[in-house]
Amino acid sequence: MAGLKPHRRPVEIVYRSGYVLQTLGLLALFLARDSSRLDSIASVAGYFLITAGVLVSGWLLQVYMREVKVIVLAAAAAGVALQVTGIATGATHLIPLGLGFIFVGSCGLVGKEAYCFRFKEGWWLMPVLAVLTLALYIQHGAGHPTLAVLIATAIALALFASFTIRKFKMPYYGGCGSSGDKE
């Protein structure tokens, strides 16, 4: 990248591993009975893995505009704060809302990859993660699992899995727009 020193290979592997964590987190949410609540190991694992993935990749994100990285990390931090507040105070409706903020950070990450490397999954994930957030919030209010969450989670999981596989197939030292993975 012009003006940005590329990551060394080990750092780039860690950066890309953040996407793996997010994918595994979505898998855990897909397997959870009620993914809007932290009442099962699968849902706790899902929230934790998605959050950890956004924070890892966000911390190592290289972008021309520093504001993008700030937005990604600030959204993730706000999401963590909402989740912790929800757990600590019993205001459990804040937990899926916090995940929505974390998804904002995730959208910044996949959006950067979509822009730089033409990863269509990145563009598609943005509205899907917004719908998933809304569905999780509605599911929490309904008090029981809903089909909308299951469908949105399945779509997000498929897109993230495809995105992550494509990201790991890319060469390590390419700058924005230098991928041989263009269609």
pLDDT confidence bin for 178, thresholds 50/70/90 = low
96-100: long-range contacts (C-beta < 8 A, 24 or more apart)? 96/36, 96/133, 96/136, 96/137, 96/139, 96/140, 97/133, 97/137, 99/47, 99/50, 99/51, 99/133, 99/136, 100/130, 100/133, 100/136, 100/137
Three-state secondary structure call for residue 183 = coil
Residue 88, C-beta contacts closer than 8 angstroms, at least 6 positions apart:
none
Instruction: Output the DSSP codes for 31-59.
Output: HSSSTTSS-SHHHHHHHHHHHHHHHHHHH
What pLDDT was estimated at residue 92? 93
| C-alpha span between 11 and 21 (Å, rounded) | 15
Which pLDDT tens digit goes with each residue over 56-93? Answer: 999 999 887 899 999 999 999 999 999 999 999 999 99
Contact in structure between 95 and 86 (CB atoms under 8 Å): yes
Which pLDDT tens digit goes with each residue over 7-62? Answer: 677 888 999 999 999 999 999 999 998 999 898 999 999 999 999 999 999 999 98
Burial of 9 (0-12, 13-18, 19+ CB in 10 A): exposed
What pLDDT was estimated at residue 106? 97
Answering whether pTM is above 0.85, one says yes
| C-alpha span between 165 and 101 (Å, rounded) | 25
What pLDDT was estimated at residue 77? 97
Calculate Rg over the CA atoms of the chain: 16
> Among 11, 129, 123, 118, which residue's Cα sits nearest to residue 62?
11
Which pLDDT tens digit goes with each residue over 110-150? Answer: 999 999 888 999 999 999 999 999 999 999 999 888 999 99
Contact in structure between 30 and 157 (CB atoms under 8 Å): yes
Alpha helix ranges (H) inside the chain: 9-31, 41-60, 66-89, 94-117, 120-142, 147-169
